[in-house]
Amino acid sequence: MDILSTRGLDLWYGDNQALKHIDMDIPERQVTALIGPSGCGKSTFLKTLNRMNDLVPAVRVEGLVTYRERDIYAPGTDVTWLRRQVGMVFQKPNPFPMSIYDNIAYGPRIHGVRSKARLDDIVERSLKGAAIWDEVKDRLKKSALSLSGGQQQRLCIARALAVEPDVLLMDEATSALDPISTSKIEDLITELKEHYTIIIVTHNMQQATRISDTCAFFLLGELIEFGQTTQMFSMPRDKRTEDYITGRFG
């Protein structure tokens, strides 16, 4: 079952076309990795999936993007609703300058949850879901900024989980982390795919092979190859994919 699909997706930043006619079907409850050299369009593509590009000036999107068969660029689409369904975690951990507890409770409060017991439950469940509960349960009132980089990133994942999304987008979510924190997040991603669809952008080929089920290779705004990760990294179909993943690009 495909949860997100694009058909003939074009995107321009002013005169510069960043995505060229992308057709892609993203399978539900799998990890999909987007790879490609800098400037290839992979992060731009990721951001079209929850309309984060709306915030960029002079951006123009054409073609179809559907989430559970709903056209997310149709007039009248509730973008807040969309971003609740399709959450995002960024490259640099960006906890709010408030307590660990309030970081997690922030989203649910915006969406109208007021009960203390209910919020307590969401905070605990989200932190457990992001595999950080045991490390922070005794200091929930402490500032989130006191956490290490790896813990902050897991906190951001917990914050994304708190609003019970369907899909998680991760834009190079481990590139600023040390190997131990990276492996914790990779393990977490593998566990999360039981309940969530996860789409990651990564420059780390080994990470893509370790944790993704399907993989998409972008080059100069085009989708060059899309398929099973094991297939792509053992027998890529396109010479350009082979050149990129084996480091012989350019």
Say whether residue 146 binds other proteins (CB under 8 A): no
Buried b (16+ CB within 10 A) or exposed e, 104-134: bbebbeeeebeeeeebeebbbbbbebbbbbe
Nearer to other proteins, 196 or 226 (CB): 226
Say whether residue 179 binds other proteins (CB under 8 A): no
53, two tokens: 């590009």
Say whether residue 249 binds other proteins (CB under 8 A): yes
Q: Which residues face 169 on adjacent strands?
A: 88, 199
* Closest distance of CB 214 from other proteins, Å: 11
What strands, in cross-sheet order, belong to the sheet with 2-13?
A: 16-27, 2-13, 59-67, 70-71
34 burial level (CB within 10 Å; 0-12, 13-18, 19+): buried
Stretch that binds other proteins, among 25-33, 37-45, 50-58, 225-233 (CB under 8 A): 225-233
* Closest distance of CB 37 from other proteins, Å: 13
Whether the CB-CB separation of 26 and 66 falls below 8 Å is answered with: no
Say whether residue 203 binds other proteins (CB under 8 A): no
Say whether residue 97 binds other proteins (CB under 8 A): no
Stretch that binds other proteins, among 21-29, 62-70, 99-107, 226-234 (CB under 8 A): 226-234
Say whether residue 230 binds other proteins (CB under 8 A): yes
Residues with Cβ within 8 Å of residue 179, at least 6 apart in sequence = none
* Closest distance of CB 227 from other proteins, Å: 8
Nearer to other proteins, 82 or 205 (CB): 205
Say whether residue 234 binds other proteins (CB under 8 A): yes
Nearer to other proteins, 97 or 250 (CB): 250
Report the C-alpha gap between 46 and 215 in whole angstroms: 13
Report the C-alpha gap between 194 and 208 in whole angstroms: 18
51 burial level (CB within 10 Å; 0-12, 13-18, 19+): middle
Say whether residue 80 binds other proteins (CB under 8 A): no
Whether the CB-CB separation of 185 and 154 falls below 8 Å is answered with: yes
Q: Which residues face 31 on adjacent strands?
A: 198
Nearer to other proteins, 77 or 204 (CB): 204
Say whether residue 75 binds other proteins (CB under 8 A): no
Among 84, 131, 209, 220, binds other proteins (CB under 8 A): 209
* Closest distance of CB 192 from other proteins, Å: 23
Residues of the shown chain interacting with other proteins in the complex, contacts defined by CB under 8 A: 205-206, 209, 227-228, 230-231, 233-236, 241-242, 245-250
